[in-house]
Structure 1
Amino acid sequence: MDGLQWLRQGDVVTQASALLLLAMSVASWVVIFWKLRLLRRAHADVPRSAAAFWQAPSLAAALERLPAFDRETLVLPLVRAALQLEQLGPTTLAGRGGLSQRLTRVLRDALHGVLGRLQFGQVLLATVGSTAPFVGLLGTVWGIYHALTAMAGAGQITIERIAGPVGEALIMTAAGLVVAIPAVLAYNWFGRVIGGIEADLEGFARDLRELLIDTHAVDPGR
């Protein structure tokens, strides 16, 4: 009896554990491939976008140049949020306060939105990495229990009769590890890459804030 036949003959718990592991694997690999593309582009585009911004002759020119460099739209929301600050009228609480306070608020909100995109999927990878081994272990324990119960009802138990069913049930433990290991490795590596990108974005937001404050100090009529 091969592993697939054992799985087909398993009960609801065994089959549900296998299907759950399959769903975890598919979901984690979809997230892994999507984040590989996102972070590969972001790792290259954020420094290029920041350089393009600072090389522009004016804020308006920088806003026009950024889309060509910022393919994942990570830097552009910060610039747009800062430049749209003037639309906040004094009749609302968001439009009150000093320029420094208002810039800090709008840039923080824009930065949180950008970082949310970078962090998307990390919770799923962490969940799969931490729970998949236990789901596989559950399937193994349950499969061994039912195999031993069936053999006990059939008469004499020998090591030869136990080895086959127990070995097949252990496939679930191996499947849990196969699902969990890529998720854990991807989570750790993505976290390191995201940390570097976050540092670049936070530094750019801080420099942009200082630029706009200095510009307003030189030209208060803006």
Structure 2
Amino acid sequence: MISRISGLFAAIAFAATLAASPLAAHAQAADAASAPVEAAAPAALDAAAPAAPAAKAEPAENPYGLKAMIDHGDAVSKGVLLLLVIMSMGSWYILITKLWDTQKLATEAKSVRVSFFKKASLAEGVKGLKEGSAFRFIAESAIEASEHHEGALTENIDHSSWVTMNVERAVGEVNSRVQTGLGFLATVGSTSPFIGLFGTVWGILQALTAIGVAGQASIDKVAGPVGEALIMTAIGLGVAVPAVLGYNWLVNRNKAVMGQVRAFAADLHGVLMGNRSVAKR
């Protein structure tokens, strides 16, 4: 009976405490509102201080990402990653510079087609071309071959064939300069997936070796190292795809531009042969 009464009193006291706590909090808030601002500010800072760490909680780092692979990888893994980064940088550099070169060459081809053959003479036409341009190089090579067809050996070749050979040689040099870098893109596109796969195989081998030594084969022990190793394959594919697409794009652009260059060379050859025929008359 006494225990029940004491339990009843305890329940009443607990309920009274719960009921009184909101009233006390309300009274404390009213007192704080009526107090000066200088006195309320420290109290507010003290009340907010415990909640600050929870509001600024930083997200946990991904233990299976690229950063974890770099931190825990050995020299071989880091070397493979560095090689893929270099190949990617080289591919993008070649792609951007060659696109700029082909665009500049196409713009020059349009200008040459409009103005070069309307000049009064070939000398004036050559002066109107930009220094160091492919079209000026071809024009100067063709004119020099036409004007200097002498010598005991070159006299055995007729003038038309001699000029044709020099023009084709100049066009070939221009084509070689345009094609520079495509071999690197082809190499990167064909080898980078296998380099990334090698990094994956090596990473999985090291992970399985570490798991075997530790004697723990739980999913968390396997998923992390294997996932880190598979990142290498993804990076290899990410390097290869832009290289292959850039290679095909540049090949098509180079074909179009070199078609315009060869057309200019053929027209120039015709003009030189016509001038020679007129001079013979």
Using the size of structure 2 for normalisation, the TM-score is 0.73
Residues 92/151 of structure 1: CA separation in 2 closer, same or farther (3 Å cut):
farther
Residue matched to 1:179: 239
Residue matched to 2:23: none
Instruction: Report the residue type matching 1:207 in the other structure.
Output: D
Gaps of 5+ in 1: none
| Residues 1:145 and 2:205 aligned together | yes
Counterpart secondary structure, 1:170: helix
Counterpart of 1:27 (choices 62, 77, 90) is 90
Counterpart of 1:57 (choices 108, 115, 120) is 120
Residue matched to 2:16: none
The whole-number CA distance in structure 1 between the counterparts of 2:107 and 2:155 is 35
The whole-number CA distance in structure 2 between the counterparts of 1:195 and 1:12 is 43
Counterpart of 1:93 (choices 147, 150, 153) is 153
What's the CA shift string for 1:83-112, capped at 9, x where partnerless? Answer: 111453522534541111111111011111
Residue matched to 2:182: 122
Instruction: Report the residue type matching 1:49 in the other structure.
Output: V
Aligned pairs (5 A) from 1:1-222: 1=63, 2-67=65-130, 73-86=133-146, 88=148, 90-94=150-154, 96-220=156-280
Residues 91/179 of structure 1: CA separation in 2 closer, same or farther (3 Å cut):
same
The whole-number CA distance in structure 1 between the counterparts of 2:151 and 2:262 is 30
Instruction: Report the residue type matching 1:174 in the other structure.
Output: A
Cα displacement (A) at 1:113: 1.1
Aligned pairs, how many?
218
Q: 1:128 touches 1:180 (CA, 8 Å); kept in 2?
A: yes
The whole-number CA distance in structure 2 between the counterparts of 1:210 and 1:82 is 11
Counterpart secondary structure, 1:206: helix
The whole-number CA distance in structure 2 between the counterparts of 1:94 and 1:193 is 37
Using the size of structure 1 for normalisation, the TM-score is 0.91
Gaps of 5+ in 2: 1-62
Instruction: Report the residue type matching 1:79 in the other structure.
Output: A
What's the CA shift string for 1:60-86, capped at 9, x where partnerless? Answer: 11011122xxx7611111110111114
